[in-house]
């Protein structure tokens, strides 16, 4: 596997995870900084011929050491890098959010289909045991259908675009905390509804308290979603505070992840029947091994490109509802 983009997430999470995995390992990198690539080659023990730049991704085609490219660049570059990897004949794991727009998601899915390669999204929680158990509870209806859902995710962002923070740059980030952190809430809500998408959304942007950072993107956004079966959800995505919670309720019980629900710590699941202790896993190692096994055995992906596209459709509906103040249909089909 090759990592494309050697920033914070690759350096501190995915690289170390790839030292623990049993079914995949790091065999190359794609980076704009060749000296950094050489350091990774030494640290992870792969040959320097497996260092590529974004401009030479087409040459991945002739490289038998790399089966999968994991795209870990800023959101606004996911489409370009995913399509380049697919054209070189490699399977792709693309970080969340899948892209800036649904239109980009369609192009990515199309490119992977045309090349006959898999497209997966870096939704690590689909491989985390507590979250997997919440999915099971929803699917098997142990408590009946969950009809009230609430989630929030965010952190206090401190640096402006001028300090090199691409998350404050609309073009590279696609939007604000909804793209970066809210996508986890969107994901969890759909998990709790057995992967159904909401039918309609209402939403509003929160106040901009630090205009020096939030000149291009929202500082926070809150939304309400209604699902086809009448279930109602409230969500919040924010760069104003550290928050990470998720709770669902039904006629016969409730379940809650964390807090924190979405960070790298184990999101302990508590339900109205008590809590069960699941073994702590390294989330990224579990995800990488899980995805490698799906590829090796031909099983469907838990976190597919189509799922990433659905989430962008929901995100686009939240933005449009917040802008127009209207109840907005979700076109996730
Ligand atoms: P980062 O800024 O630390 O790293 C981004 C990398 O992309 C850098 O190495 C940078 O050099 C490279 N890059 C290539 N072209 C660039 C350009 N034109 N402008 C800026 N950088 C460019 O960011 P990160 O925190 O590692 O996030 C990368 C991706 O991973 C994002 O999509 C983010 O949402 C995702 N992410 C996911 C998780 C998760 O838990 N799944 C956690 C963190 C980040």
State how far Cα 33 lies from the chain centre.
Answer: 25
pLDDT tier at 322, thresholds 50, 70, 90: very high
Q: What is the pLDDT of residues 183-212, one digit of tens each?
A: 999 999 999 999 999 999 999 999 999 999
Helix extents (H) in the chain? 8-9, 15-18, 34-44, 78-87, 102-115, 129-140, 170-173, 177, 183-192, 283-297, 305-324
The predicted structure's pLDDT at residue 275: 84
- Local structure of residue 280 (DSSP, 8 states): P
> Is the bond leading into 259 cis (omega within 30 degrees of zero)?
yes
CB 209 within 8 A of CB 240: yes
Statement: residue 318 has pLDDT above 90? yes
Statement: residue 149 has pLDDT above 90? yes
Q: What angle do CA 110, 112, 116 make, to 5 degrees?
A: 115
pLDDT tier at 104, thresholds 50, 70, 90: very high
- Mean predicted confidence (pLDDT) in 231-246: 98
Please name every residue paired with 269 in a beta bridge, in sequence order, or none if there are none.
257
> Which of 3, 4, 7, 70 gets mutated to test ligand 1 (max ligand atoms within 8 A of its CB)?
7
d(CA 276, CA 207) in angstroms, rounded, equals 39
> Which of 74, 80, 186, 263 gets mutated to test ligand 1 (max ligand atoms within 8 A of its CB)?
74
The predicted structure's pLDDT at residue 31: 98
Residue numbers annotated as active site: 96, 184
Statement: residue 279 has pLDDT above 90? no
Nearest CA, atom 4, ligand 1: 7
Q: For 138-163, b where at least 16 C-beta lie within 10 A, e where not — what string?
A: beeeebebbbebbbbbbbebeebbee
Residue 20, token pair as written in the block: 């623990």
First-to-final CA distance of the chain: 32
CB 231 within 8 A of CB 146: yes
């Amino acid at each position: 596997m090759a990592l494309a983009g050697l920033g914070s997430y690759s350096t501190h999470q995915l690289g170390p995870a790839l030292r623990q995995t049993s079914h995949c390992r790091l065999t190359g990198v794609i980076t704009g900084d060749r000296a950094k690539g050489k350091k990774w080659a030494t640290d992870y023990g792969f040959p320097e011929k497996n260092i590529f730049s974004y401009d030479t991704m087409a040459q991945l085609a002739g490289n038998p050491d790399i089966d999968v490219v994991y795209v870990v660049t800023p959101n606004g570059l996911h489409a370009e890098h995913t399509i380049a990897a697919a054209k070189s004949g490699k399977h792709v794991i693309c970080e969340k959010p899948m892209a800036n727009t649904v239109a980009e998601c369609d192009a990515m899915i199309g490119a992977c289909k045309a090349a006959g390669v898999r497209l997966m999204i870096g939704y690590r929680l689909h491989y985390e045991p507590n979250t997997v158990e919440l999915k099971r509870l929803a699917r098997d209806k142990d408590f009946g259908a969950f009809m009230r859902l609430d989630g929030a995710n965010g952190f206090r962002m401190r640096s402006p675009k001028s300090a090199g923070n691409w998350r404050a740059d609309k073009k590279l980030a696609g939007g604000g905390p909804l793209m970066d952190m809210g996508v986890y809430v969107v994901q969890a809500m759909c998990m709790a509804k057995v992967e159904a998408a909401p039918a309609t959304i209402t939403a509003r942007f929160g106040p901009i308290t630090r205009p020096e950072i939030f000149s291009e993107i929202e500082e926070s956004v809150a939304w309400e979603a209604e699902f086809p079966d009448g279930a109602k959800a409230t969500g919040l995505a924010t760069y104003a505070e550290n928050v990470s919670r998720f709770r669902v309720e039904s006629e016969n019980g409730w379940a809650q992840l964390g807090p924190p629900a979405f960070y790298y710590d184990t999101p302990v699941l508590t339900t109205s029947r008590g809590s069960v202790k699941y073994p702590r896993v390294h989330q990224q190692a579990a995800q990488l091994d899980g995805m490698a096994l799906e590829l090796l055995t031909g099983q469907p992906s838990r976190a597919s490109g189509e799922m990433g596209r659905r989430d962008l459709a929901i995100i686009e509906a939240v933005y449009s509802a917040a802008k127009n103040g209207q109840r907005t249909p979700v076109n996730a089909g």
